[in-house]
Amino acid sequence: MTHEFVIPLFLGSRSPEEAKIALFGTCWDGTSSFKAGSRFAGYAVREASYGMEEFSFYQQESLLEIPFTDYGDLFLPPGQKERALSDIASAVNEIKSKGQFPIAFGGEHLLAYPLIMSAWETHKNLAVIHVDAHADIRPDLWDDPLTHATFLGRIGDQIGFENIKQFGIRSGSKEEWKIAKHFDTIRPFTIDALKSHIDSLGNRPIYLTLDMDVLDPSLYPGTGTPEPGGIFWDVLIEGLKLLRGKYLVGMDCLELSPHYDSTGVSAQAMAKTLREMIMIANTSAFQP
């Protein structure tokens, strides 16, 4: 056969056997509190990835030089929350058992819950960096304690809120505001605030959970919960670059509902962010 047949995985994806870093889609939207649709993120991001260069001007590296694989989307049946969460937990554990750095992307932010808990089970001194427009620490949403608007509260209940810092938050309930004030979790998304926090962590293992609705909705309308007043991509990437060389143990990049953005720029923003995150992961002294 002289022709090349392409399965549209993320730009630059290698075979799993060659990979130190594993990208995988977690695309499910069963607790989305306003507009659902992040179950469709996977294809949109991979398609968008072919519209960008493999070389990053920001980090002066090429995706083609980085040993990463895209496993595709994990099958997560709509409507089955417990199964979705437990399947993500077992998938990420399997990826880490191969010595691969996990980067999950796509669906609603609840899906970070099993990813962070998996990191914490291995690294009890875990520090969580949460980037989002929303606080996500409600005690419950409509009597459910485990949704995309509450999951970080359940993480805090278990790992301790003092091990969480939140950047870019501009929306939440009065109750969340009180919790955030009590535990001093919220910081602005500025280079100074991020640098001072990351420096304070020293060699602690870090998990980064990134809800892309931290971006201003004029740049990133492809979300079910757009929140005016956000940051722009250049600020996001300058902040994320501060994690280069740190002891990262896992990352996610979540909340893309591509159908709300007919221009496709939101999927492009997530693809470009993932390119940079793959490069940052490659600098981590990762131990599974």
Give the residues lining the site for Mn ion (CB under 5 A): 109, 132-134, 136, 211, 213
Q: How far is the CB of 223 from Mn ion (least distance, A)?
A: 7
Question: Which is closer to Mn ion, CB of 132 or CB of 176?
Answer: 132
Q: Which phi and psi angles does 106 have, rounded to 5°?
A: 120, -75
Distance separating alpha carbons of residues 252 and 240, to the nearest angstrom = 12
Smallest gap from Cβ 231 to Mn ion, in A, equals 13
Cβ atoms of 11 and 47 within 8 Å: the answer is no
Given the complex with Mn ion, which of 12 and 106 has the nearer CB atom?
Answer: 106
Contact of 281 with 59, CB cutoff 8 Å: no
Nearer to Mn ion by Cβ, of 134 and 138: the residue is 134
| Closest separation in Å from C-beta 130 to Mn ion | 8
Residue number, 141 or 201, with CB nearest to Mn ion: 141
**Two tokens, residue 222:** 């492809």
Nearer to Mn ion, 136 or 261 (CB): 136
Please state the closest distance from residue 155 (CB atom) to Mn ion, in A. 12
Asked whether the beta carbons of 164 and 119 are under 8 A apart, the reply is no
Q: Measured from the CB of residue 204, what is the shortest distance to Mn ion in angstroms?
A: 23
Alpha-carbon distance of 118 to 112, in angstroms, equals 10
Which token pair is 139? 């005690």
